[in-house]
């Protein structure tokens, strides 16, 4: 058995880790939980904007009816003969529209333009166009995935996920120590510090499993590109094919998508197509990625690759036949986004996500109250918290407005300045404070 | 005194973790339209855990957590 003093020391160390990781990463964790709580509804927001703002509706297919997009694509090619990088997104529900996303390359990068067309996959016609890059859904996605910062934003989010894991695990380990004289759902009303501390403990332990799952999957998803590169990890649906022709000839090869849907039904009947893509790199292939209903796996993780000329299957990735490690890989994204349990689970994810955002605020309030007398701040803890929250909210809203009404690139530039500026400012502040503290303690010891 | 400590500091936190997972599992089964025995087993676990947490009953907490662990393991393995 461990001696009591050793136990106390261990708890103190755990509390210190919880305290410092929460204090330094709390703001980013709070922002990510808040944006994530809204971001789970991205498909619903997209659907609502498409039907209400753009007024585009697709016909409902008859049972067993196949999608048809050949005529719509021919029409799009007539309008944009220089289109490249075509990606066809298929609707996830009947009555929703499909989209064609492609670029028309200009002389340089600045003059290249992206286009997004709405298509009715039942009547086979183009319904209109939209600017997906400047949409609210894209803002939410970019903000949550990479804080709208293109260079290392995704890695910063991944590191915040790691800090979230540390906070969750240490929180669980120190919980018992703080509940000595308290029963579980009881909140004491003995001043603001104790009240917020109690809410922090009660809500923290109530949402612990959710927070742990979100933290682990978030850390993995944020650091995934780098980790996969460093450790040579391959996605289960990764495939390599030899180049059979020149890229230009490959891009010019006509694809009969109606035929693709027919082959898909025969070769992989359970696959609900999510997105389709024809090769332009000389491999002469057609990729169909999609999901199987009722599974807790990443969206579009299943795939069927066909030969472009003969429509014969070349590669099939069915999550049901994968190994345990591949299935474990595929489950991460679904667990993070909560899109495997319909709207009900999304609502639960939002409530728990907002709870986690509240935890970073309540933790900060408790810290301010605890250090208030010692530090003699000019503003009260509540005022300080309110100012911080308001500032963050203003920044989020301003970037959203720039993203939607001015442009994606401009919003990304502003966010990059803000994120990198805050990060470097923060690091310099921490170093200066540490140096000053050391100098003060040295002066005191010399004085003694 | 010792029993109360075990309930408050160990059993309730573990039951809350099981409850979190059970709730997500229950909603997933409902959305999937799978109204077979796993759904009802999950519902029973959620009820047992909720009562156990609110009343601080160690038998319901241990029973609910243990039973749900079996339900979850069976769901993962099958």
- Angle between helical axes of A153-175 and A192-206 (0-180°, round to 10): 100
Pick A205's closest partner by Cβ from B13, B31, B34: B13
pLDDT exceeds 60 at position A135: yes
CA angle (A87, A92, A95) in 5-degree steps: 105
Residues from A in contact with B at Cβ < 8 Å: 172, 175-176, 179-180, 182-185, 205-210, 294, 296, 338, 340-342, 344-345, 348
pLDDT tens profile A287-311: 999 999 988 999 999 999 999 999 9
pLDDT given at position A365: 93
- The answer to whether the Cβ–Cβ distance between A206 and B32 falls below 8 Å is no
Q: What are phi and psi of A51, to 5 degrees?
A: -80, -35
Among all residues of chain A, which has the CA nearest to that of B12? A184
Per-residue pLDDT, A335: 94
**pLDDT band for position A447 (cuts 50, 70, 90):** low
Nearest to residue A260, comparing CAs of A317, A308, A212? A308
Q: Which two tokens stand for residue A390?
A: 């308001």
Chain A residues whose CB is inside 8 A of the B24 CB are: 210, 338, 341, 345, 348
Helices (H) and strands (E) in chain A, counts: 13, 8
Listing DSSP states for A197-262 in one string gives HHHHHHHHHHTHHHHHHHHHHHHHHHHHHHHHHHTT---TT-------S-HHHHHHS---HHHHHH
Q: What is the pLDDT of residues B21-76, one digit of tens each?
A: 999 999 999 999 989 899 999 999 999 999 999 999 999 999 999 999 999 999 98
Angle at A250 between CA A245 and CA A256, to 5 degrees: 130
CA distances from A382 to A10, A29, A121, A201, A389 (A): 31, 20, 54, 19, 10
Instruction: Give the residue-averaged pLDDT of A203-208.
Output: 94
Name chain A contacts of B10, Cβ cutoff 8 Å: 176
Give the pLDDT confidence of A319-355 residue by residue, as tens digits. 999 998 999 999 999 999 998 999 999 999 999 999 9
Give the rounded percent of residues in chain A with a pLDDT score beyond 70: 98
Q: Which of residues 36-55 of B touch A (CB under 8 A)?
A: 53-54
How would you class A251 by CB atoms within 10 Å of its CB: exposed for 0-12, middle for 13-18, buried for 19 or more?
A: middle
């Amino acid at each position: 058995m461990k001696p009591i003093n050793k136990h106390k020391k261990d708890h103190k160390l755990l509390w210190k880790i919880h305290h410092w990781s929460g204090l330094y990463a709390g703001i980013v964790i709070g922002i990510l939980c808040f944006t994530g709580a809204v971001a789970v509804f991205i498909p619903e927001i997209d659907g609502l904007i498409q039907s209400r703002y753009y007024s585009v509706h697709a016909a409902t297919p008859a049972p067993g009816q196949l999608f048809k997009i050949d005529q719509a694509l021919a029409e799009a090619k007539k309008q944009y003969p220089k289109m490249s990088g075509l990606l066809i997104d298929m609707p996830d529900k009947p009555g929703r529209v499909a989209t064609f996303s492609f670029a028309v390359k200009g002389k340089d990068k600045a003059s290249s333009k992206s286009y997004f067309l709405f298509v009715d996959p039942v009547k086979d016609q183009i319904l209109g166009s939209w600017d997906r890059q400047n949409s609210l859904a894209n803002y939410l996605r970019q903000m949550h995935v990479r804080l709208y910062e293109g260079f290392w934003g995704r890695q910063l989010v991944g590191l915040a996920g790691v800090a979230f894991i540390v906070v969750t695990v240490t929180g669980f380990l120190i919980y018992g120590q703080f509940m000595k004289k308290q029963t579980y759902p009881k909140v004491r009303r003995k001043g603001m510090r104790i009240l917020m501390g109690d809410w922090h403990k009660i809500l923290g332990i109530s949402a612990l499993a959710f927070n742990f799952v979100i933290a682990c999957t978030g850390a993995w998803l944020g650091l995934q590109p780098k980790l996969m590169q460093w450790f040579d990890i391959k996605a289960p649906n990764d495939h390599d094919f030899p180049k059979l022709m020149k890229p230009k000839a490959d891009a010019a090869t006509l694809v009969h998508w109606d035929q693709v849907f027919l082959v898909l039904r025969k070769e992989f009947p359970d696959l609900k197509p999510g997105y389709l893509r024809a090769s332009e790199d000389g491999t002469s292939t057609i990729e169909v990625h999609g999901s199987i209903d009722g599974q807790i796996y990443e969206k579009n993780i299943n795939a069927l690759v066909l030969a472009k000329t003969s429509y014969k299957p070349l590669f099939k990735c069915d999550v049901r036949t994968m190994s345990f490690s591949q299935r474990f890989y595929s489950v991460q994204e679904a667990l993070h986004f909560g899109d495997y349990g319909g709207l009900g689970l999304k609502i639960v994810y939002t409530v728990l996500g907002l709870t986690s955002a509240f935890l970073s605020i309540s933790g900060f309030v408790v810290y301010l109250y605890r250090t208030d007398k010692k530090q003699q701040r000019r503003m009260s803890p509540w005022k300080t918290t309110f100012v911080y929250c308001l500032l963050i909210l203003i920044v989020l809203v301003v970037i959203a407005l720039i993203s939607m009404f001015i442009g994606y690139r401009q919003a990304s530039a502003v966010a990059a300045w803000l994120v990198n500026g805050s990060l470097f400012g923060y690091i310099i502040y921490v170093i200066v404070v540490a140096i000053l503290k050391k100098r003060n303690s040295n002066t005191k010891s010399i004085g003694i | 005194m010792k029993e109360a400590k075990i309930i408050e500091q160990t059993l309730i936190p573990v039951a809350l973790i099981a409850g979190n997972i059970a709730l997500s599992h229950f909603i997933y089964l409902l959305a999937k339209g799978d109204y077979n025995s796993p759904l009802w087993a999950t519902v029973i676990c959620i009820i047992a855990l909720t009562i156990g947490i609110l009343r601080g009953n160690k038998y319901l907490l241990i029973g609910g957590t243990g039973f749900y662990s079996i339900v979850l393991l069976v769901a993962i393995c099958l």
